[in-house]
Structure 1
Amino acid sequence: MSEMPIQPLLHVREATKRYGEVRALDGVSLEIGDGEFLTLLGPSGSGKTTLLTAIAGFTELDAGSLTLGGTEITQMPPDKRDFGMVFQGYALFPTMTVAKNIAFPLKIRKWSRADIDRRVKECLALVQMEDYAERMPSQLSGGQQQRVALARALSFHPKVLLLDEPLSALDKKLRADLQWELKDLHRKIGVTFIYVTHDQEEALSMSDRIVILESGRIQQIGEPDELYAHPRTSFVADFLGKSNFFEVTVRGAGAGQVTCTAGEVEMQVQQRNGAAAPAAGRTARVALRPERVRLGPCGSERFSGTIRQHSYLGERSQVIVENEALGRVLVSCPTWKSQVELRQGQPISFGWDDDAPILLDDA
């Protein structure tokens, strides 16, 4: 686990939730920092939404505890936790104007009319919706509705803001724009954000830390660059981005580098920070990110191969190169920087720096 960069606010200890034989949460323990943007990331069924709804108080744990600022909240009802919540489907009241939607949580909390009017104006400005106060939700675009939902969730100064895939219903460009806005909003207000998504790029671009879940368990926690550069397992390496995997035999280790062989090919492999040196002779698995592989004209790199497939993606190209010893290797390279013609059947050379391959914990 990463060292906490800031003071912990919320503690989750051994959270367990079963649905019949399925363990949606299997002893999850986690500390969330005060003012942190923490993302829960994983595939469908990984437990991320169950964990979020347990924190919110909508899901009752079978075992474990939740503590907020030293106060036990495990049995506390949702309305007493004072958490804001933003859903994928916006959940705006269709018969209320934008201003009345934002004012609703304040009326429930019996704020004065003057304080409500002032706070509604502040929240509209916060999400750049000042000119839409008297509009109805049906008169707004999806992105505008999500801004109103955010303003409503923040109106009563919640201790924590919980966001359950809030951008997944939006188109790609609007999602990208709102990712920037959400991150900027978090920076401005300093409230703890707990964000659920299955979108890896979204998690990498927005988060202070990411919690990767799979089958109800935490697989790895860390800052985005740490997780991407130093995945511990095949699941993390494959789920967070793309990787090539090689089955290798360890020949020796020293100074943070491990010498391995894949068939007849010898390679130097990066040892993950803090990991014990593997014993010589053991089998292991190595991950190699596609963008760490270089392509060049025949004879310019260590390995030779043949292009089996090529996909043009605009600013990047994805290439599958076949090598007799290593099999098929996925390469991602900037289109504008390509030194070779990328076409099926083309002979090519490829290689990588010694620090590019990563030794994983799972064999």
Structure 2
Amino acid sequence: MASPILSISDAVKTYGDTHALNQVNLDVAEGEFLTLLGPSGSGKTTLLSAIAGFIKMDSGKLTLRAEDITNRPPEHRDFGMVFQGYALFPTMTVRENVAFPLKVRKKPSSEITKRVNEALEMVQMGAFADRMPSQLSGGQQQRIALARAMSFSPQVLLLDEPLSALDKKLRADLQWELKALHNQLGVTFIYVTHDQDEALSMSDRIIILKDGGIQQQGDPNTLYNRPRNKFVADFLGKSNFIDVTVKGQTNSTLHCTAQDVAFDVETDTTNTTGDTVKLALRPERLKLGAPNEEFLPAVVKQVSYLGERCQVIVTHKTLGEMLVSCPTWKTDITPVAGLTVSIGWEPDAPVVLADN
């Protein structure tokens, strides 16, 4: 990474015995779309609030372009902020809402008019400039909140679950718009969400948090396909977990057994014969077919139809229940409850997980 625009070092924040932030270290690159992802209570909103200056860390340091801003008040950090609940002023018009941060900064009226018009056009809301927030839909209000946050050209834009109050289709549409806007403007985005699909579809890099600490970070492809531990594999998408005993390793091929089931796994980890390790196996990496000798016999327990794909729960006498995700278009078999099938996977499909 080049010199970061923003760095947070050894951040600690506690509430009683609870660590909301536990020695968090993070660099944010210029122009990056960085997403903080985690379940409720993981520390993602606390971290965003510490960056914004809304809460004071117990210890730690925050720098913006190598300048210490740890104790700088929020209004002097030059960060834009978009909230989940829009936070528009109900008694101001759309134009007045977008102009507000510029007036606070005492910009000339001619500049305010120009920037407001540009910000509204940026989010395709120029025709709504004289309306009140109550006359707008939720998606339109969120666009106005975004225009207001961008009107003064902030160095960093902080977004706290901005799409969570919207319905599924509108949320998906705005995800595309936000990503396109980020690409257009090149402004650094720090985005908070608990929605895994949202994080995967929009981010340059994802930080996965749990109990105030970073579990893993990386680009979406790496995190999804190479989760470090069970929490990441289970939280980011769905996984089947198999406990296996290591029977040996030849170069990158791990020879292992799960009771009476023996198979090989391609891995870049080094393992000791006799060790017990946990594997993560994504549902879409399993193959579902008619009974045959090459795959493991199983019985369909439950089928959930999702349009282009279906989720199938099968049971195997040793491995127990396994989740399989398979396409619904031109498939070899149509899974129904009670059907005898077979399941299998390629040696590079499972991922060997760390203990923590």
Tell me, yes or no, whether TM beats 0.5: yes
Matches within 5 A, 1:328-343: 328-343=321-336
* Helix, strand or coil at the partner of 2:5: strand
Structure 2 distance, partners of 1:169, 1:270, is: 42
Deviations 1:27-48 (A, max 9, x none): 0111110000000000000000
Check conservation: 1:295, 1:301, Cα contact below 8 A.
no
Matching residue within 178, 181, 187 for 2:177 = 181
Q: 1:266 corresponds to which letter in structure 2?
A: A
Structure 2 counterpart of 1:334, one-letter code: P
Q: Distance in 1 between matches of 2:189 and 2:210?
A: 21
Residue 344, structure 1, aligned to residue 340, structure 2: no
| Runs of 4+ residues deviating >4 angstroms | none
Map 1:34-73 → 2, pairs under 5 A? 34-73=30-69
| Number of the residue aligned with 1:244 | 240
Could you tell me how far apart the structure 1 residues matched to 2:266 and 2:191 are? Answer: 31
**1:341 and 1:301, CA in 2 relative to 1: closer, same or farther beyond 3 A?**
farther
* TM-score with structure 1 setting the length: 0.96
Q: What are the equivalent positions in structure 2 for 1:20-169 lying under 5 Å apart?
A: 20-169=16-165
Aligned partners of 2:173 and 2:162: how far apart in 1? Answer: 13
Aligned partners of 1:268 and 1:357 also within 8 Å:
no
Task: Tell me the equivalent position of 2:192.
Answer: 196
Structure 2 counterpart of 1:306: 299
**CA deviation profile, 1:211-253 (whole Å, cap 9, x unmatched):** 0000111000000000000001000000000000001111222
Task: Give the equivalent residue in structure 2 for 1:359.
Answer: 352
1:221 aligns with 2:214: no
- Once residues 112 and 164 of structure 2 are traced to their aligned partners in structure 1, the CA distance between those partners, rounded to angstroms, is 31
Could you tell me whether the CA contact under 8 Å between 1:84 and 1:153 is conserved in 2? yes
Cα distance 1:249–1:300, how it changes in 2: closer, same or farther (>3 A)? closer
Native 8 Å contact 1:256 1:271 kept in 2: yes
**Conserved? CA contact 1:270–1:359, under 8 Å:** no
Q: What amino acid is the match of 1:350?
A: I
Distance, in Å, in 1 between the alignment partners of 2:334 and 2:153 is: 57
d(CA) in 2 for partners of 1:333, 1:84: 42
Distance 2:67 2:198 in 1: 32
Which amino acid counterpart does residue 344 of structure 1 have in structure 2?
Answer: A
| TM-score, reference length from structure 2 | 0.98
Task: Tell me whether 1:296 sits opposite 2:289 in the alignment.
Answer: yes
User: Which amino acid is 2:271 matched to?
Assistant: P
C-alpha displacement at 1:254, in angstroms? 3.3
- The CA distance in 1 between the partners of 2:350 and 2:225, in whole Å, is 10
Counterpart of 1:171, as a letter, is D
Distance in 2 (CA, whole Å) between partners of 1:300 and 1:121 is 68
Structure 1 gap segments, 5+ residues each: none
Aligned length: 356
**Contact 1:197 1:203 (C-alpha < 8 Å) held by counterparts:** yes
Distance in 2, matches of 1:316 and 1:228, equals 19
Question: Is 1:230 aligned to 2:195, yes or no?
Answer: no
Letter in 1 for 2:309: R
Question: SS of 1:8's equivalent?
Answer: coil
C-alpha distance in structure 2 between counterparts of 1:43 and 1:293, whole Å: 27
Q: In structure 2, how many angstroms separate the alpha carbons of the residues matched to 1:306 and 1:318? A: 14
Letter in 1 for 2:122: L
Percent identity for Structure 1 against Structure 2 = 61
- Counterparts of 2:243 and 2:352, CA distance in 1: 10
Q: Secondary structure at the match of 1:337?
A: coil
> 1:315 is matched with which residue: 292, 304, 308?
308
**What whole-Å deviation, never above 9, does each CA across 1:268-288 have from its counterpart, x for those lacking one?**
22325xx4x011111110000
Q: Which residue of 2 aligns with 1:281?
A: 274
